[in-house]
Structure 1
Amino acid sequence: MAMDTKIVVVLREDLPPGQAANAGAVLGLALGGRLEHSVAADGKDAGGRVHAGLNPHPVPTLTATGEQLREIKEEAEDQGLLVVGFNEVARRSRDYVAYLDALADTAPEEVEYTGLALLGARGEVNRLTKRLSLLR
């Protein structure tokens, strides 16, 4: 069954593996928290053990340059897509209050994106991300 919407995670291409994993997790949690029905029903294996439901969307993880991330974020927001951005200000902050304080002192053009999670119409998400490579 094809879905009308698509979720994509785009990470900055130069992130070390640990930072990439962290950024992907933060973005997934933040995006999921904004969705009313983000988790499908629980399932059972042949032994009757319950497995917690997952997000039913496939979630490709792509890579982009920092500049591409900024461009994608701006265009995605202009198109009305749901966009969650993870940035260096957040990554370097020790807690959320420190992040909010540091972000308030950061000019918009100085925000360096570590990654984005996008949700929107399949065609629009594809248009914005079709030239990006899968994370390797």
Structure 2
Amino acid sequence: MNSEAPLAPSAAPPVRFDTKIAVLLRVDLEPWQRLNVTAFLVSGLGSRLPEVIGEPYEDADGTPYLPMFRQPVLVFEGTKEILTAAHSRALSRALPRAVFTADLFATGHDEANRAAVRAVHREQLDVVGLSVYGPRNAVDKVLKGARMHP
């Protein structure tokens, strides 16, 4: 008889969410940049949209952990042109979004990041990453032309 606890709870039927959390990254980013941009972008969604955050976690010993997103975050990639189009579509649909521009790689703190974005007109932003949240079909339309990150 195996006395070890199971690694995961019993399999439940898959949940299909009506909403989608997605991150779109430019294909020419270095691996460290992809990770950094993704982390920054999703922090924006989680901080402003309480409905995307689940309940806090707790292990079997009662140790508390912070809550996380209640649904998967899907990561996509695309060319500069795909990101520019996705940015425009997200704005035209008024979906909650966060943006990361190439200029932010040269800054070192939040105030400088915001100043770097504020200094550039929307049409001139060099978007290297975009996160978006909303109804599944609307997010899918924003991501048109992008592919799942490998």
Shorter-chain TM-score bucket reads: 0.7 to 0.9
Aligned: 1:128 with 2:142: yes
Distance 1:51 1:73 in 2: 34
Q: What is the Cα-based RMSD across aligned positions, in Å?
A: 2.0
Distance 1:123 1:27 in 2: 21
Aligned: 1:65 with 2:79: yes
Quickly say closer, same or farther: Cα 1:96–1:41, change in 2 above 3 A: closer
Give the gaps of 5 or more residues in structure 2: 1-14
Runs of 4+ in 1 over 6 A off after TM superposition: none
Deviations 1:23-76 (A, max 9, x none): 000001111111123321123334444343221111111101111111111111
Q: Percent identity?
A: 28
1:34 equivalent among 25, 44, 48: 48
Match of 1:54 in 2: 68
Match of 2:23 in 1: 9
Give the gaps of 5 or more residues in structure 1: none
Which residue identity lines up with residue 37 of structure 1 in the other structure?
E
Distance 1:110 1:22 in 2: 22
SS at match of 2:100: strand
* Pair member with larger Rg: 2
Contact residue 86 and residue 144 of structure 2 kept, 8 A = no
Q: How many Å apart are 1:103 and its aligned residue? A: 3.5
Superposition TM-score, scaled by structure 1 size: 0.86
Superposition TM-score, scaled by structure 2 size: 0.79
Bigger drift between 84-93 and 47-56 goes to 47-56
